[in-house]
Chains A and B, each alone.
Chain A
Amino acid sequence: MNAIDLSRRNFLVGAGAATGGLSLGFHVTLGEATGQGVSPEVNAWVVIRPDDKIVVRVGRQEMGQGTLTGLAQLVAEELDADWSMVETEYPTPGQNVARKRVWGDFATSGSRGIRNSQDAMRKGGATARAMLVQAAANDWKVAASECTVDKGVISHKGSNRSTTFGKVAQAAAKLEAPADVKLKDPKDWKIAGKPLLRLYQDGKVNGAQVYSIDFKIDGMLNAAIRDCPYWGGSLKSFDAAAAEKMPGVKKIVRIDKNAVAVIADTWWRAKTALEAVKFDYDPGPHGKLDTAGINAMLDEGLSAKEAFVGNQAGDVEKAIAGAAKKIEATYAFPYQHHATMETMNATARWTADKCEVWTSSQNAEAALATASQAAGLPLDKCDVVRMDLGGGFGRRATSQDYVRQAVLIAKEMPGTPIKLIWSREEDMLHGCYHPTTKCKLTGALDKDGNLVGLHMRISGQSILATIRPEALDKGRDMATFQGLNAGGAEGRLGYTIPNLLVDHAMRNPPVRPGFWRGVNNNQNAIYLECFVDELAHAAGVDPLEFRRRMMKEHPKHLAVLNAVAEKAGWGKPAAAGVYRGLCQHMGYGSYVAACAEISINEQGTLKIHRIIAATNCGHAVNPAQIERQIEGSFAYGLGPLLMQEITVKDGKVVEENFDTYPILRMAEMPSVESIIAPTNDFWGGVGEPTIFAAAPAVLNAIFAATGKRIRTLPIGSQDLRRA
């Protein structure tokens, strides 16, 4: 092994390429690429080495959420493998293309990593097990049905014989795969469903783990880039005369019309020289855009005549007109930046015959397609080696813009690998921002304090309209209504409201939007769950009881809400000075609820003491990792509540680093108590769902403490002293 240590992830194809041995991914099969002789590929998902090591191939991407470990557990479970012998391997997207997408969809977003891969991968494990058993049975001339498997050892009791996976793998690989295999009942799971430690942690505590930004290859140069920071603006000209003379600079290139990259021996020198380049921009048609202007656009939409309907029942206008009590409120959620700890980066090497990319992406297939287009080469002449991600959160799923840039830069120096790294400032200015929306809510209470009508008018930016317009439904962006849908398995509204209208006035500022952990559920949960709290208080009904009245037909939503209320001791007094708030919501197929406990001192300083969270994600593949996702999602989701906001001035983003875009730190992190309550009758997501339960619960607790409703995020410097 040379300077880089890719073998930790058994990334042997990549390692081979890095050491100049193999040409990466150009249709070598992974089994052959191991360099340890031919390790039989029992099927696409399972390779078994002669030393009994089991290599599970994973299409989805690990980025800290634990999907890699969870998927390996599911395959190992069906194999009846010895968990200590399990390793994983990422096929490249080029290999996936060459093998007719045998590993399915690589896209790792929307909390789909496990739920949308589990069926194929469990079948892969079960099929491999059947073939291994058949191979042993053939050898022993006994019936496969008489053989048993335990921890990778196949036994035949009648003849007192046993063997291991590694010994029969060669023979098994030659057998025809059975057409039908029976998957285990999750109640019989021994590896899946258990709180196992995550794979590959050692390199994360000793510095050995190689992220994309750490990648090295012989002869590599480094590039820093500055793209036009104005949406719709352009680079008129630039002056690189001084920069060209600076130490280490190899070449200064203009790519994609509006970006300038400095290629140098080291990245620091490239970045330093880039700072000496003088830029002359035309800010374009949105050069005067600012946050106030965007807010005015959204305000207009709140009362606009036309809007896309997302969910409708009864006659909401009539219900509001006839209400015993009418309540109104308007909420607002600002732009957010993903702020992954590892900034966008990619290494590319281009020749007229092929293009190789090493990068961290949540969607390596999209990265491959992007590379192919930028390279001007067909897909089968390109490949992408999947490197570890220093955070994804949707940024590396929304756009592969950094891959495009890296390839275009590499084209300027054919044959030379060049690593492009975005500075934090470049990363902040070229984000795929969580969109801003506002919501005007009008509720109608009858004389008994029941909610008989609700109109939720959302006004604001659609992600799909910009990022994936082909996914719009006659102009309507159904993703805007996440968690507010009448039906479906993804995100149903948990309340029965006889007269209901949820609609969306789409107002699209030119700011590039993106999928940000939790996506539109984040603000939708705040809008609905804080307003439900307002309605409960207006009706003079306990907020838990008020919700329960509307949840008789929504038992799974109700169960998680009840679970947090019970654990928090809702209805019983909290500690002196401590106040509680509730939230429930459904997203990515999972049911979540939270109860926050907070206090606010005389100076108005908020302290979030504890958040109790419950999730029903159907099957809990690794409860320990689910707990970590719950905690982590709160750290991410409380940022926009407390302090994070992207603002716009003079046509571009104002916040260029963490000094102006503060991130939640340890001192602000509440204690988190998790309730994992799987009902084992569906497959829900884990990485995102709990994120949207935290902020509304805290906001409702703030009202309980102060009598104040915070309706515009972030809280920032808003006065939280008791009204």
Chain B
Amino acid sequence: MAKINVNGRVVDVTVEPDTPLLWVIREQIGLTGTKYGCGVAQCGSCTVHVDGVATRSCSLPISAVTEAQKIVTIEGLSPNSSHALQKAWLANDVPQCGYCQSGQIMAAAALISQTPNPTDADIEREMTNICRCGTYNRIKTAIKQAASASRG
């Protein structure tokens, strides 16, 4: 039994303590926007925010998460796809298959909240999520647009 705070809601989950946060989110809470890709923190498809920090949830056991920590998934990033990044993603028609995009957006959201005016080098250093469709260049453009919009 564990209590976790996901998207502002505290929920009780009954799982083995070594269960990764990813599978708690997907199978216990039922939010499937956060994806399984590799299970070894390589691809970033499972990226969520833990207290604002981009975290690869496939490799974080639920036993290491406390009720006080605020977990945000793609579903909790904004109501109605209204986050500046989501708007920029749509304006740039970024997704292809779309499978990795939840993780990409969550990684980007953490980046621009910490670095409001990221350079190309900042983006390339922080955005290490894998996309097999090859949407990288449009992701970069969308991040810069969103960062600019967020700064006003």
Instruction: Name A residues whose Cβ lies closer than 8 Å to a Cβ of B.
Output: 3, 63-66, 197-198, 201-211, 213-214, 216, 222, 247, 266-269, 272, 339-343, 388-393, 421, 423-424, 624, 628, 631-636, 657-659, 663-667, 669, 671-672
Contact = CB atoms under 8 A, between A and B. Distances in A.
Given A341-B130, A390-B35, A211 B99 contact: yes
| Majority DSSP secondary structure for residues of A touching B | loop
Given A342-B99, A667-B124, A659 B42 contact: yes
Contacts of B138: 628, 631
Contact of B75 (A65, A207, A341, A390): A207
Contacts of A203: 98
A213 B135 contact: no
Contact of A631 (B15, B39, B137): B137
A423 B94 CA distance: 27
Given A201-B90, A206-B33, A208-B33, A268 B20 contact: yes
B37 A424 contact: yes
Given A423-B39, A635-B131, A667-B125, A204 B95 contact: yes
B130 A64 contact: no
Interface string B14-37: 011011100100111011111111
B132 A204 contact: no
B86 to A, nearest CB: 5
B34 A207 contact: yes
B60 to A, nearest CB: 13
B124 to A, nearest CB: 4
B130 A665 contact: yes
A64 B133 contact: yes
B30 A63 contact: no
Majority secondary structure of chain B interface residues (helix, strand, loop or mixed): loop
A206 B43 CA distance: 19
Contacts of B42: 657-659
A207 B96 contact: no
A713 B51 CA distance: 43
What are the nearest 9 A-B pairs in CB distance? Answer: A207-B33, A635-B134, A64-B97, A204-B98, A390-B99, A64-B96, A632-B134, A207-B74, A214-B32
28 contacts: A66-B96, A201-B90, A201-B94, A201-B98, A205-B101, A206-B75, A206-B78, A207-B102, A213-B36, A266-B28, A268-B15, A268-B23, A340-B132, A341-B35, A343-B36, A390-B35, A391-B133, A393-B132, A424-B38, A628-B93, A628-B135, A631-B136, A635-B131, A635-B134, A635-B136, A657-B42, A658-B38, A669-B134
Contact of A204 (B26, B101, B125): B101
Size band of the B side of the interface?
Answer: 35 or more
A629 B144 CA distance: 22
Given A666-B124, A666-B128, A631 B134 contact: yes
Contacts of A63: 97
A148 to B, nearest CB: 32
Contacts of A213: 32, 35-36
B140 A666 contact: yes
Given A205-B86, A341-B35, A342-B99, A663 B130 contact: yes
Interface in B71-125: 73-75, 77-78, 80-81, 86, 89-90, 93-102, 105, 123-125
Contacts of B102: 207
B77 to A, nearest CB: 8
Nearest to B42: A658
A266 B102 CA distance: 22
B43 to A, nearest CB: 6
A206 B135 contact: no
Contact of A391 (B20, B28, B132): B132
A198 B94 CA distance: 9
A669 B135 CA distance: 10
Contacts of B23: 266-268
A85 B6 CA distance: 37
B90 A202 contact: yes
A663 B40 CA distance: 14
Contact of A341 (B45, B73, B93): B45
A665 B16 contact: no
Contacts of B137: 631, 669, 671-672
A392 B132 CA distance: 10
Contact of B16 (A272, A663, A667): A272
A592 to B, nearest CB: 16
B139 interface: yes
Interface string B126-152: 011111111111111000000000000
A635 B135 CA distance: 8
Contacts of B30: 3, 216
A343 B42 CA distance: 14
A424 B39 contact: yes
